[in-house]
Amino acid sequence: MSARRDSDRAFWVAHPHATGSGGAIEPDAAMQGHDPVLALAGHVVAVNRPYLDQHRFQPRIARCQTWLLPASPRINARAIQHGARRAVFLHGGLLRSLWNALHMLLGGSRFLADRFGWQAVDLRPPPPAPGGVRLFPQVTGGDGTDPLSYLKEVYGRAVEFVYFHEIAHHGRDHIARLRAVGGQGFVDEGLAMAAGSGAVADLLRLLEFDADLSAVDMCLNATGFATWAGGETPRFADPDYMTSELFLHLTGMVTLFMLLDRAAPNAPAQYDGGHPPALHRAIRLSVGLADTVQAATGLSRAQVDPFLDHAWSEVVSLAGRLGYPPGLWTGRQDQFARIGLLDDIADRANALSREIDAELGQKPAARGPA
């Protein structure tokens, strides 16, 4: 087993995607480094290993290795398969952009400032430190919560989502489906976002929806938000914990989708075809999460919706500060006019998910998003 692991490791270290991105490091090595962004990402991978070892995706992900690409500036992630070998690559540009964007979001958040008693603290983002990492001042709020700790929490939820999303591409055998229609042996988030027309591009659209929902399902289980197995009735945490987790997940995931959308070539054009717009995917998942919390806790919409609304308000405000043009995340007219068209794509994605469930002998996951 150790010899095979070493052979797989040598294979991925020398893989063109790793060497062409400036070199790959393992999550454990990142945890020992001096870059907090990479160290926290490595920690997310490490703490979820026991969970994945018991996941229904085994044994398909038994030989799946995870690599970080510190030198890559790309806002990107990739799942690659070569025979029985599988790997997930998370780019440094994605991890650092996510950290900095969430830092800016928290620094301008009146909702969180009021909630945690941070009003007296100057949370305006300071100039970037060497390496592009910006840190909050070490100040504790009225309830003992400090901004830096909260930043680590929400960043961890976002990294966990994108990590599970890439794992799902392997666990759901997406790459085999792409090969069957003449596609490549990998799923690249950046290339997929820019996909045009044709059979491969159409399949990519549907597979991204499937990976999104699988990732959310895994996040809900892994964080203690909810647990279930083999047809059991879900066992949910208490309402206060769930609404706090809801805001952490929403803020991290929606910010992630916004960054992917910003990095995609001709992102506005994707609303007329090609890859499903990241905005639409974020809306679909966030509403599904809010529905899950309401159904599980018995809370009213009036008690749950403020967390949903505040999370979106924070991210939209951040999009404006990042220079997004009107109509793309900072306005409604372009995106929401096409939601009906994109819901049709989502309906086909749901049908494909059910087909994959049947092929893999899996029961549909007990998840909120439909």
To the nearest 10°, report the CA torsion of 279, 285, 291, 297: -130
Distance of CA 299 to the CA centre of its chain: 26
Q: What is the pLDDT along the chain (370 residues), one digit of tens a residue?
A: 588 999 999 999 999 999 999 999 999 999 999 899 999 999 999 999 999 998 999 889 999 999 999 999 999 999 999 999 999 999 999 999 999 999 989 888 888 878 777 654 444 444 444 344 444 444 444 455 677 888 899 999 999 999 999 999 999 999 999 999 877 889 988 776 666 667 887 888 889 889 999 999 898 887 655 454 444 444 555 677 778 888 999 999 999 999 988 887 666 555 555 456 788 888 888 988 888 888 877 888 998 999 999 999 999 889 888 888 777 787 655 556 566 667 777 888 899 999 999 998 865 554 433 3
pTM over 0.85: yes
Angle between helices 239-263 and 301-321 (to 10 degrees): 30
For 254, the token pair is: 């929606």
Token digits of residue 360: 């893999």
Give the whole-angstrom CA distance, residue 74 versus residue 362: 34
**276 burial class (0-12, 13-18, 19+ CB within 10 angstroms)?**
buried
Task: For the chain, count helices (H), then strands (E).
Answer: 16, 6
Degrees (nearest 5) of the Cα angle 52, 53, 58? 85
Cα angle, residue 370 at apex, residues 222 and 268 outer, rounded to 5°: 95
